Structure 1
């Protein structure tokens, strides 16, 4: 980015970068992805990440393989297969999200590099405050996502198995509670040590699944919050350009604004390219999971199992909130990008030199088609899309994909 001769510099840039990355660093380290997306890691961190990566995939496979065997077994009834459909779809969706996170590690690393450069290149204290404010917003979203997912998860993995009604099998033996059913096809739960091993393994594997879900949300929140902060800085520069209308540096100011705006748009497009497959899997998988959870609530209502109803209800709320957060993030980015054009028109542009004022038309034109976070380039993530996902009884035309406008943004 071109720079003016401004004496102020961000001496706390490294601390600001660490603060911006703190939640994603913690989550991605557990998943073993952090060394892939961040270059400044030690050899010990890389070794620990490799071990963690192998353990996470082993945990997901430990859940997936017995569940698939249970679904394909002739011993299981149709009702048992429907009961397993929700957990199986969630495991498959989490595995796909994990895979796409690893596949897009180069794009994530590039976005983190741009984020770090922006923190080091910030030129005014006011601009730094704007970036800190947006980082605080992303931290709030991350905390909400973690609280919702883990509270519902602890209910499912800990509370429901022990407080729900116990059953007796054909041999008059008490069936011990387990979060995911169907593992008795492979393991003998009458042996206490085997039961404890399976239960603990399911619990740990479930935490890995929740880590993947929170990783996606926290990553999206961090990148979009940073993009929104950069757009706010561009807007602030535009609003201040009139004050320098008589200055000899007016053209340099405009060049900085245009260049900064284009860099922010490229960063936003990179975010969409990283998240589009993940969001598509998330939207489709979460929609299926929400439908199955509603079915489970109805069936448990008929069985008068209040503990199961509350657990499934908490899970339902957490998944609904997960979709809402992705749509909220997409809505914020779209709205913020649109505000640049409005700010360009709102200022006293008629006091600017003629050629400089005409340069604002480029910014206004680009802002008419803001960057959107999409799910597989099929649907955009917005409040309207959230309503069409949750309230499926609405008119069919709302469910159709909205037209996506491609902004001509150079990639290099």
Structure 2
């Protein structure tokens, strides 16, 4: 399970990040040509790619929602117990390699999805900013501007993995660590 299922979500998120970078580069070169038909074809390709990416992220979210929610909640329960056991073993003069491995593994398993989902959110934000700053103000085709407006509205919603209760990101991870140590 840990060799296949745990890294599968971050691998898929990295794929979506790469696809968003490709779209961002295409958007940056959208208005290099002055021909309205070429621009419309480029916009069509960008829209299709964005639809593919958003569907792909939705599939990732559907598959991993419960697992990531359980991981975050389980981390808040298991890590304090493991730290307590480690401290007690240290007071007895023992060095528990199993507990150290368990603590490091728990931190990595709970933090990697948050990190990659946060990266996905950053890439989505870069696409949104690229849409806004692609040079549309120099091109006076109404249908192109309307399409860009719709894309900008659609891009306002962050591209991220959501769990049952919240969006998976580094902020969610810090909330988990705050619950581990309330002082």
- TM normalised by structure 1 equals 0.42
- SS in structure 2 of the partner of residue 373 of structure 1: coil
Corresponding residue number in structure 1 for 2:75: 286
Contact 2:120 2:159 in 1 (8 A): yes
Q: Provide structure 1 residue ranges, at least 5 long, that are not aligned to the other structure.
A: 1-211, 396-412
Corresponding residue number in structure 2 for 1:344: 131
**In structure 2, which of residues 44, 59, 75 is the aligned counterpart of residue 255 of structure 1?**
44
Q: Provide structure 2 residue ranges, at least 5 long, that are not aligned to the other structure.
A: none
Corresponding residue number in structure 1 for 2:154: 366
When Rg is computed on C-alpha atoms for both structures, the one with the higher figure is 1
Q: Across the two proteins, how many residue pairs are aligned to each other?
A: 181
Alignment of 1:145-184 (within 5 A): none
Alignment of 1:214-253 (within 5 A): 214-246=3-35, 248-253=37-42
| C-alpha distance after superposition, 1:141-172 (max 9, x if no partner) | xxxxxxxxxxxxxxxxxxxxxxxxxxxxxxxx
Q: Which has the higher contact order (CA 8 A, sep 6+)?
A: 2
Query: Residue 315 and residue 275 in structure 1: after superposition, are their counterparts in 2 closer, same or farther (change >3 A)?
Result: same
| C-alpha distance after superposition, 1:1-23 (max 9, x if no partner) | xxxxxxxxxxxxxxxxxxxxxxx
Compute the RMSD of aligned alpha carbons: 1.8
After the TM superposition, which parts of structure 1 deviate over 6 Å for at least 4 consecutive aligned residues?
none
Corresponding residue number in structure 1 for 2:109: 322
Contact 2:121 2:160 in 1 (8 A): yes
Q: Distance in 1 between matches of 2:36 and 2:161?
A: 39
Corresponding residue number in structure 1 for 2:170: 383
Corresponding residue number in structure 2 for 1:53: none
Q: CA deviation at 1:244?
A: 2.1
- SS in structure 1 of the partner of residue 81 of structure 2: helix
**In structure 1, which of residues 240, 264, 281 is the aligned counterpart of residue 53 of structure 2?**
264
Q: CA deviation at 1:379?
A: 2.0
Contact 2:124 2:159 in 1 (8 A): yes
